[in-house]
Amino acid sequence: MIPSLTTERLVLRGWRGDDFEPYAAFLADPDVARYLSGEPMSRTDAWRNMAMMVGHWSLRGFGMWAVERKEDRAFIGRVGLFYPEGWPALEVGWTLGKPYWGRGYATEAARAAMAYGFLTQGLERIVSVIHIDNKPSQALAERLGETRGPRHDVVFAGRTFPSEVWSISRAGWLALTHK
């Protein structure tokens, strides 16, 4: 069972079959896929990726939510908690479809996911693993209170993505949320 989270403008919810078409379209966009897989994903790979998102909840007890905009129930992307094998720590991550960039949705959803992680997982820190050239995601990490940390190269489908581990401690998160 995937819990739902609600923010001012968004619902973070479990995945549905009808999320696949917009999700596959997002992952086929070269600008969206640039820092995820390095190239647009095929429909088959997008399906496997979506199934991995659903399966992560079953295997770890947390994961990425499908993100829906309240005003029109549009599926806009994925945001949530991610900790695959070989990752440096539990991550808060985000990927939105390009039509939804620049509106603050990723920040709003990531804040909710980060709170869920700290409140339910007993964590001392949460990370975001971000490609070294992904300036928009680095700016989002800073808005979340994360700071840049060590290099951590991510290997996906035989390709290496030079990345850095951004993080925030529980104490740092509490200080930001209780101002």
pLDDT in tens, 109-142: 999 999 999 999 999 999 999 999 999 999 999 9
pLDDT along the chain (179 residues), means of 10: 96 97 97 91 96 96 97 98 92 97 97 96 95 96 96 83 95 90
pLDDT at 149: 95
Map residue 6 onto helix, strand or coil. Answer: strand
pLDDT at 155: 82
Separation between Cα atoms, residue 85 and residue 88, nearest integer Å: 9
**Residue ranges of the alpha helices (H) in the chain?**
20-28, 30-33, 43-60, 105-120, 135-143, 170-177
Structure tokens at 36: 């995820």
pLDDT at 20: 98
Separation between Cα atoms, residue 95 and residue 76, nearest integer Å: 9
pLDDT at 159: 82
Query: Can you list the domains of the chain with their CATH numbers?
Result: 5-177 (3.40.630.30)
pLDDT at 77: 98
Other CB atoms within a 10 A radius of the CB of residue 151 amount to 10
pLDDT at 51: 97
| C-alpha triplet 8, 97, 51: angle, nearest 5° | 95
